[in-house]
Structure formats: C-alpha cells, structure tokens
Structure 1
Amino acid sequence: MYLQSMTTFVLVHGAWYGGWCWRDVAPPLRAAGHEVLTPTLTGLGERASEFREDIGLRTHVENVVDLLRRADLRDVVLVGHSYAGLVVREAADREPERIARLTLVDAWAGRDGESIDSLAPEFFRNWVESITTDGAIPVPPAPSVGVTEPDQVAWLESRLTPQPRRTFSEPTRLTGAVEAIPCRAVLCTPPGPMPFGELARGFGWKTVELESGHDAMTGAPAQLARILLDDA
C-alpha cells in the first residue's frame, strides 16, 4: 500500500483580490489530499475595512511570513498571482527553510530594490497615477484581466476592492536566499502587455503556458489546479 505524501499549498492573491479568488482552484488540491491555505492580505477582500494609505509591499510580506511562522509550515509550495509574485518571493527570502518551491502565476518578479513601479511599462504606471485617489488604486474592470463571461464578470467585480498605492511603489528587499529555491512560472497565453514572460526568462525559471486571461483562477481554474498538482 502506498501513502500519498501531503503538500501544503499557500496560495497568495494579487492586487485588488482576496483569498476568495482561489475558490475553484483549492478544492481539486484538497481532493488530492493536500492542505491549502488562501490568506487575504491586509486591506483587501474581506479585510477591506483595514485599508490604510501606509499599507505597502512590506505589510503584505509580513502577512505571509506571519502565517508561515504561526502555523510552523514546512515544505510549502508558495504560489503568488500577479502582484503577489513580489510578495511571495520576499516572504520566501525571509523564510527559505520553510519553502519547498515557488510557483508564480502570470506574476511580477523583481530583484532587490525593484518594485512594480520600476518593472512595469510606462503606460501602466501612468494609468495607475491617473486613477489613484487618497492612496488607493480603484478596481479595474473585469475584462482588463481577461474575464468577459457575464456571470464571471458579475462575480468578480462584486468582490474586487481598491489596492493600496504604496504596494506598487515600495521596493522589494531581498538577501538573495530566495534564488536557491526552485521556481516555476505559469504564463497565461496569449500574453498580455505586461512583461511576465520576459521577467521569468530573465531569472532562468522553467515556464509552463496556460491558455487563459490574466485571471487564470476565474478563467481556467481546473487547468491551473492541474499545473499546481505537478508541484506537489
């Protein structure tokens, strides 16, 4: 008789989202016998009442580090979507002994001192600046992340919440420890205007393509779950 070993997945959402976005991704992972945690970062999702202008990347890194430490998690597959690529890489850099591997889903990835502001195309930075009010970036329309089916649009747009502007400007702090952790990048295809593929290739990571809009959790959850199960 063979016993399947259990993996702990920590799935971290991107900007404007919350832990709710993994609704259709987590069940297949749990059905395969794995533990799945889907934290919501400070000021977002069901924690929107905690919004403050001083919430930055470091706040969200601390969210993930605190979870890893409080639950004493080990051999974790740490997954970050979009903005959370920066979050999970810094958290892994802080706690490398707890992380078995990283999976970045159509995600930003930077080196020490870089931020979304420094990595993003000029048009995106200009758009963010033009709409930011009182330290908050308003919710983008669902089609901008590749979600166009009416029921999915309604579901998504009823749950998205404004993103603290500082999370895009605060630079990541890395010692280099994260670079020793195996990492794979899931690239949604056809690619959009953001340099996710270029960033992943710049780090030399293995990549896998997923036919989906940027919001793969909504548009292709079963396919994304199958890819994540390869990391278990």
Structure 2
Amino acid sequence: MTTFVLVPGAWHGAWVFEPLARQLRAHGHQAHPLTLTGVGDRRHLLTATVNLDTHIADVVNLLTDHRITDAVLVGHSYAGMVITGAADRVPERVAGLVYVDAVVPEDGDSCWSLVTDQERAWYLAGVGETGYTSAPLPFFDPRATPHPLASLMQSVRLEGGLDRYRTRDYVYATGWEGRSPFTPLYERLAADPDWRTHALAGGHNLMRDAPEELLKVLLTSAQAE
C-alpha cells in the first residue's frame, strides 16, 4: 500500500484530484487530495500573507498530523513548487515524487522564474482587484477561485537534492495549444536515467483529459515503492 498526497495547481482545489483519489483507494492505496490555503473551499483564508511557504506547510502538516512516512507526493503545475519544498522539509516522510505537467524547481527558483511570458501574463490577470490575487482564467472550471499571487512569485529554499527520494516521475502533457512551457524540462528529464518520464495525450489538466493513463502512472509508481 502506498499513501498518495495529491496537490492541485494554482486556482484549483482538491476536487480536481477526487476522481483519481477514489480510483487509487479502490486499488488498495491511501489517497489525500489537498486544497491549499486560500483557494477553493479554503478561500476564506486568503490574505496578502499567504505564500509558497504557507502551501508547503499545508503539505508538511498533513504528513505529520497523519503520521505518514511513505508518501508519494503528486503535484500538478504550480504544485511542483509545493511538493518539492514539502519533501525538502520532511524527507524522512517522503518516498517518491510525481510531477504532473509541473515545474521542478531547484534552490532559489520560483514558479514565476520557471514559466514563460504567457503564464506570467496569466498570473497577473486580475491582480488589480485586490493587489495580491491572481484571477482564474475564463476557460477554467467554474469552481476555480483567485490564487495568492505571492505563492507564484516566492522563491523556494531547498537544503538537499531530489536524489534523496526513491522514485521520481515526470508526466508531460502533449496536447497544449501552442508550445508547452514544460517541453525543455521534459526533454531534459527524459535523458536523465534517474527519472521516469511519461508523455500523455491531453491538455495541461491531465486529471480531466487522461485520467486512466495518469492512474496507470501512479499505480506504477506504487509498485516501484
């Protein structure tokens, strides 16, 4: 049995991972979809002080409160920042990492620094409404809510490398309209024998576009554990 912690990207809540979580449980695993502070059904907690460290603490607190010591952290998009930071804080609680069309930061990187001008323009959409939030885009699911801008801008501080974790998977979405901001990262990791890479036919939201294929990736990760 593997314990999966499923972390959504910007603007989205645990609901994006709920169908996948149900399937993981049906296969005998534990699965914890997580809504980050200030987003989704926790939007009442959104303030100007919510940042990347807040979201890293969300994951760390879940791991410690549930006494999880064998977690596979799964992060979509922006949440690549979050799962990397959380694993670095409590490496003894993390067995593997799965990045779902996500950023993979090194020490000092931010989500802002790792994406392209297209995504930066998305981040700045709607900032004028509060001065500290990024508005969901019109084509998002209607459940999407404003996201704390500081979390997208803050640099992550890491003390160790990803080689501390037994498994590392990168899942790449091939169906972006235009060039994916993650193509160079995927190509680099595909040439690295320490990574397992997977290219799935679907848009950025692979939980919606390729749910069965993504489930297979996670089940393979569990078998590797």
Taking structure 2 as the reference length, the TM-score comes to: 0.89
Question: What pairs up with 1:118-129 in 2 under 5 angstroms?
Answer: 118-129=113-124
CA contact (8 A) 1:102 1:183 kept: yes
Any idea what the Cα deviations from partners look like across 1:23-43, whole Å, max 9, x if unmatched?
221111111000111111100
Does 2:58 correspond to 1:73? no
Q: Work out which of the residue numbers 7, 25, 44 in structure 1 matches 2:2.
A: 7
Q: Which residue does the alignment assign to 2:157?
A: 173
Q: Deviations over 1:64-122 (max 9, x none)?
A: 01111111101111100000001001100111111111000000111111101111112
CA distance in 2, matches of 1:219, 1:128: 23
Structure 2: which 5+ residue stretches go unaligned?
none
Aligned residues: 214
Counterpart residue number, 1:96:
91
Question: CA shift at 1:163, angstroms?
Answer: 0.6
CA shift, 1:200, in A, is: 4.0
CA distance in structure 2 between the aligned counterparts of 1:11 and 1:26, rounded to whole angstroms: 8
Question: Which residue is equivalent to 1:140?
Answer: 137
Q: Is the 8 A contact 1:96 1:177 kept in 2?
A: no
The verdict on how the C-alpha distance between 1:67 and 1:221 changes in structure 2, with shifts beyond 3 A counting, is: same
2:198 aligned partner: 208
In structure 1, list runs of 5 or more residues that go unmatched.
1-5, 144-155
User: Contact 1:108 / 1:196 at 8 angstroms: preserved in 2?
Assistant: yes
Residue identity opposite 2:174 in structure 1: T
CA contact (8 A) 1:65 1:91 kept: yes
Letter paired with 1:206: R
Task: Choose 115-124 or 50-59, whichever is displaced more.
Answer: 115-124
Shift of residue 127, structure 1, vs aligned partner: 4.2
2:13 aligns to what?
Answer: 18
| Percent identity over paired residues | 40
The CA RMSD over aligned residues, in Å, is 1.6
Q: Deviations over 1:158-217 (max 9, x none)?
A: x10011100111001111243322211000113453432322444533210111111111
- State yes or no: 1:197 paired with 2:187: no
Q: Which residue of 2 aligns with 1:147?
A: none
